[in-house]
Amino acid sequence: MNTLQQESGAPTAASAAAGTGSAPQPSPANGAGTVDGRSARWDAHREERRRTLIKAARRAIHQLGSDASMEDIAANAGTSKSVFYRYFGDKSGLRHAVGAVVIRHMQDTIAAARQGASEPREGVTAMVSAYLQMAQTSPNVYFFATIPTDGDTRPSGELSGFFNSVTAMITEPMQQLVGDPASPLMGYWPTAAIGLVRTAGELWLQAPADPNKPAANAMAEQISAWLFDGVGQFISPAAPHQSVTAAEGKS
C-alpha cells in the first residue's frame, strides 16, 4: 500500500547530475568544464540531501505527531536543527516541502484509482476511498502537510492545486451522470463535493479507534451515498414534524 510516511520514487543524484541530450561540453582548456561539472555535482548532492531530509522528516512526524517541533524532528532524524533550517528556511518551508511530496503522491494515487471505474458513482467512490486510505496510513503526516498552523505563511499552491485537480476529476463523471455539461449544477456540485469529502474525511481520521468506526472503504461508500443520494433516505418521515413541535414548545 502507498503510505504517506514513505518517500515516493525520485530521480537519483546521478541522473540529476547527468542531464539529458548530447549538447557539446565546454572546453576544459579554459576551466569551464571543471567548474560546471563541480557545480552540477554539488547541486545534485544538495538535492539528494534535501530528499533524504524530507523522507526523515516524514518518518519523524509520523512518529511524533503533526505538531512536532523542528528540534524534535531534527533529533529524530539524527541531525541538528540548523541543518533543517539551512535546507528549508523554517518550519513553514519544511511543511511546504513535505506537502509538495505528499500531495503529489496522493494526487497520483487518486487519479489511478478512478481508472478502473466503469460508471460515475463507482469512480467517485474509488477516488474517495483512495484519499481516505492514503491519509489513514499516517494522519500525522497528512495533517502536517495539509493544515497550516497559526502564523504559517506558506503559499497554499500545492494544496489548492491538489483539490482543484480532484475537483476536475469528479467533474467528468458528474457530467456523464447529469448528461448536460452546461447544467448550472456543474458550477456548484464538484466544489461542494470536495468540501464534504475533505471535512468528513478529516473528522473520520481524527475519530478515536472504535468498533463502530467504519473502515476506509465503508466510509467512502457512506460519503458517496451522501453525495449522490443526500441524507433524505436516513431521515424518518416523522422527524420534521417532531422538530417543529419542539421548536414551538408544544407537548
Domain carrying residue 84: 38-89
Asked if residue 84 and residue 207 are part of one domain, the reply reads: no
Asked if residue 131 and residue 58 are part of one domain, the reply reads: no
Asked if residue 48 and residue 160 are part of one domain, the reply reads: no
Task: Tell me if 247 is assigned to some domain.
Answer: no
1-42 pLDDT, tens digit each: 567 776 544 443 333 333 434 444 455 555 555 657 777 787
Task: Tell me if 184 is assigned to some domain.
Answer: yes
Task: Tell me if 106 is assigned to some domain.
Answer: yes
Confidence tier at 105 by pLDDT (50, 70, 90): very high
Which one has a higher pLDDT value, 32 or 200? Answer: 200
Alpha-carbon Rg for the chain in angstroms: 24
Asked if residue 207 and residue 166 are part of one domain, the reply reads: yes
Task: Tell me if 250 is assigned to some domain.
Answer: no
Asked if residue 130 and residue 60 are part of one domain, the reply reads: no
Asked if residue 102 and residue 216 are part of one domain, the reply reads: yes
Asked if residue 109 and residue 188 are part of one domain, the reply reads: yes
Asked if residue 98 and residue 57 are part of one domain, the reply reads: no
203-246 pLDDT, tens digit each: 999 999 999 999 999 999 999 999 988 877 777 766 555 544 44
CATH number at residue 187: 1.10.357.10
Taking residue 119's Cβ as centre, other Cβ atoms within 10 Å add up to 10
Task: Tell me if 161 is assigned to some domain.
Answer: yes
Count of domains observed in the chain: 2
Classify the C-alpha dihedral 185-198-128-203 as positive or negative.
negative
Asked if residue 114 and residue 82 are part of one domain, the reply reads: no
Which one has a higher pLDDT value, 236 or 249? Answer: 236
- Name the DSSP class of 185: G
Task: Tell me if 239 is assigned to some domain.
Answer: no
Residue 156: predicted pLDDT: 56
CATH number at residue 50: 1.10.10
Single-letter residue type at 182 = A
Residue 28: predicted pLDDT: 52
Rounded to whole angstroms, the Cα distance separating 123 from 114 reads 5
Asked if residue 198 and residue 76 are part of one domain, the reply reads: no
40-58 pLDDT, tens digit each: 787 788 899 999 999 999 9
Asked if residue 178 and residue 138 are part of one domain, the reply reads: yes
134-182 pLDDT, tens digit each: 999 999 999 998 876 655 555 455 677 787 888 888 887 777 777 777 7
112-126 pLDDT, tens digit each: 998 878 888 898 999
Task: Tell me if 214 is assigned to some domain.
Answer: yes
Taking residue 234's Cβ as centre, other Cβ atoms within 10 Å add up to 10
Residue 12: predicted pLDDT: 37
The pTM (predicted TM-score) of the whole model is 0.73
Residue 39: predicted pLDDT: 79
Spatial contact of 147 and 203, defined as CB atoms under 8 Å apart: no
Task: Tell me if 79 is assigned to some domain.
Answer: yes
Q: State how far the alpha carbon of 237 is from the alpha carbons of 14, 227, 228, 246, 247, in Å.
A: 67, 21, 20, 16, 17
Asked if residue 113 and residue 68 are part of one domain, the reply reads: no
Residue 128: predicted pLDDT: 94
Which one has a higher pLDDT value, 151 or 131? Answer: 131
Residue 78: predicted pLDDT: 95
